[in-house]
Amino acid sequence: MSNSSAGPSSKVRVGSSQPSETTFKRKRGVFQKDLQHMMYGFGDDPNPLPESVALVEDIVVEYVTDLVNKAQDVASKRGKLLTEDFLFLIRKDLPKLNRCTELLSMNEELKQARKAFEVDEEKLATIE
C-alpha cells in the first residue's frame, strides 16, 4: 500500500501498520501527557487515573471529529475550510468564543512582533 503523498511525517508512528493519513486506526495515548497536566489544572488529582485520561482523550477526539465534520458542512457551501467556520460553530458558547478571538489576536501580535524583530536584525546587519 503506497503511502499517501500528502502525509506529514506519519511514518514515524510506532506500532501503526498503515501509514495512511486517513486510517481510522488511532494510536492510543496521543494526547496522554498533555491531558494529564490539563486535567490537573482543571481540578483533577495531580496524578489522574490512566483510564480517566484515556476516556477523556477518546471523548476529546470524538468532539474534535464532530466539530470538524460540522465545520466542513458549513464550509462546503463556500468551498474551503476556514477558521471562521469553527468560530461560527461555537458562537453560542461565549467563553469559548472569547477565548478563541483572544488567542487569534495574540497570534497576530506575536507575528507582528517577530516581523518587527527581524526587520531590526536586518537593519543591524546592514549597518555593520
Q: Which residues bind other proteins (CB under 8 A)?
A: 6-8, 10, 21-23, 30-31, 33-35, 37-45, 47-49, 51-52, 55-56, 59-70, 72, 81-83, 86-87, 89-90, 92-93, 95-96, 99-100, 102-104, 106-107, 109-110, 113-114, 116-118, 120-121
Minimum separation from the CB atom of position 99 to other proteins (A): 5
Minimum separation from the CB atom of position 39 to other proteins (A): 5
- CA gyration radius for the chain? 20
Q: Which is nearer to other proteins, 55 or 123 (CB)?
A: 55
How is residue 67 written as a grid cell? Answer: 466539530
> Which residue stretches of the chain are H helix?
32-42, 50-76, 83-89, 94-127
Minimum separation from the CB atom of position 107 to other proteins (A): 6
Cell 477565548, residue located: 99
Residue 13: how many CA atoms within 13 Å on its side-chain side? 19
